[in-house]
Amino acid sequence: MKHSTQLLLSAFASLYLASCSPEKSPPVTPSRTPVPPVKTTANTAYRTPATSGAAMRNPDVNMPSNFDKAGGISFSRVAAPGPYIAITFDDGPHASNTPRLLDILRARNVKATFYVIGRSVDMYPGIVRRTVAEGHEIGNHSYTHTKLSGLSNDRVISEMRKTEDAIFNASGVRPRTMRPPYGALTQSQRQMVHQTFGYPTILWDVDPLDWKRPGSSVVTSRILSGTKNGSIILVHDLHGSSVDAMPETLDGLLRKGFRFVTVSQLLAMAGTAQASAGSPAAGGLHGTGD
């Protein structure tokens, strides 16, 4: 009897272990949560935050944007013939920050230049369509936001080409300028990109270091104190705190008499665009927190 009981228990144990073995376990199918559609129309629920005074309005600037592609390979600012500046936004489009920023810009008639990441364009094409429809310029910021200065020429061309195609597929327009992630592009790479795509490399002369998230008031203060005629201002719409800083920043610049244009308009002004001798070094970095 004892021997029979042991045999029975042994049989049950074998069956239990067999049922728990990896070979017998049923495959696990991951659940797929539906991705909500991205809202690409105007965000009517958003209201521009109150500032210290009435919201300013950028005057209509009907200036040419066809710049001379032989006029320079790299720019950090432009010798503008007046108080004209270009504000640029990197690392978008972002699902919520970019539409909110577009509302802020539209309320002030400000036209900006957006240096977009190709893979994000593929994720949110409707936001890019809205950006173009509202008169802003789109620039090439690579497809994967990798440090281009460490890549071969073929890889750099691939990053540029994939992003250009993504932008065109989303909006029907092609970028005319590029900005390397982290500002990192060697001089020979800048020349190669210019020769291949006609893109001048656009850097900046005003960097509030908003990627460090110092607070919206600090971002505003740094931009207001550093901007001068012909400046190219670097901001990231990837960060909500940077977008929070924009109402006060834009109004403050307008009160100081500056007028906003796109990067291409800035380059085209009166044929006076010259590459700045003070541009960041070819391998210089600016962070984005990613």
Helix (H, G, I), strand (E, B) or coil at 114: strand
Beta-carbon neighbour count of residue 49 at 10 Å? 12
Whether the link from the prior residue into 59 is cis, omega within 30° of 0, is no
Beta strand 74-75 pairing with 201-202: parallel
Closest CA to 288 of 252, 240, 236: 236
Q: For residue 271, is it left (φ>0), alpha (ψ between -120 and 50) or beta?
A: left
Residue pair 109/261 in contact (Cβ under 8 Å)? The answer is no
Residue pair 98/226 in contact (Cβ under 8 Å)? The answer is no
Q: For residue 234, is it left (φ>0), alpha (ψ between -120 and 50) or beta?
A: beta
Closest CA to 290 of 104, 123, 154, 120: 120
Residue pair 239/63 in contact (Cβ under 8 Å)? The answer is no
Residue pair 230/80 in contact (Cβ under 8 Å)? The answer is yes
How many residues in the chain?
A: 290
User: Which residues are tagged catalytic?
Assistant: 90, 236
